[in-house]
Amino acid sequence: MKRIFSVPDIHCGSCVMLLETLEEDYDGISNVKVDLIKKEATIDFDESTISPEAIIKAIKKTTNYEAVLNAA
């Protein structure tokens, strides 16, 4: 499943790099693509392994930024 998460506080390349580590650090996340201009992360994940809510918590834990799931 691919979903877009809004991360309004990202502001630089380091933020992008931190978000991209999610796929290495969390089972079930297979790809993270960050758009710094839109302040969004498009994340491919296996919903049987990790939920969107768990991804939001992972974003908070990894970056200390709040995230919300964009409406699909």
Tell me the C-alpha distance between 36 and 49, whole Å: 27
pLDDT of 72: 60
Could you report the per-residue pLDDT of 5-45, keeping only the tens digit for each?
Answer: 999 999 999 999 999 999 999 999 999 999 999 999 999 99
pTM higher than 0.85, yes or no? Answer: yes
